[in-house]
Amino acid sequence: MALVLQAQEELVKEGKMKDRYGMVFSSNPEYAPLQKLYKDQLKTLTYFFIFKPGCHACSGLASNLKEFPNVIPLQAAEGKLHSWQGLAPTKKASEDTLNDYARDGTVPVLVIVDPYKNRVSRLVGKQSKEKILETSVNLLKLRMKENRK
């Protein structure tokens, strides 16, 4: 993995690859302050993971969410609550939540909330860690841009 990170860093520095998240994920100390900033800022977001037990795509998304802070699993089906290893205890999704974010019954749904700006991003289906991170960073960038005004 270290070789991949080093290669990505070199490609970004040479301008051959876009640094899509505004930072390079590497162990290079020169990027440490920026990494810490984003990592600290990610803790200010809340991730609502709406799922149904037995859903294959839901299992994949749950696996990708283990490294993110403040993930709240919300079960969209009746019955015994399903727990995900590495995530907070599951809660039952309210009817209002389902009507707002999973009206057609499609799962999984990931709702990323920035409580400071009352802004929400909604991702449907199994998402990669990169896509979740990209969406999260975009929310944070919007917040920072508004704070500068």
What's the whole-number mean pLDDT along residues 21-32?
51
Q: Is the pLDDT of residue 116 over 70?
A: yes
Structure tokens at 61: 């998304």
Q: Which of 126, 109, 112, 107 is nearest to 61 (CA)?
A: 126
The model's pTM: 0.76
Give the model confidence (pLDDT) of 97-113 as tens digits: 999 999 899 999 999 99
Q: What is the mean pLDDT of the chain?
A: 83
Q: What is the pLDDT of residue 37?
A: 63
Q: Is the pLDDT of residue 28 over 60?
A: no
Residue linked to tokens 């993930």: 71
What's the whole-number mean pLDDT along residues 22-26?
48
Q: What is the pLDDT of residue 45?
A: 94
pLDDT band at 16 (very low <50, low <70, confident <90, very high): low
Nearest-angstrom CA–CA distance, 138 and 123: 13
Helix (H) or strand (E) holding 104: none
Nearest-angstrom CA–CA distance, 80 and 31: 45
Pick 31 or 119 by higher pLDDT: 119
What's the whole-number mean pLDDT along residues 27-50?
74
Residue linked to tokens 């609502």: 48
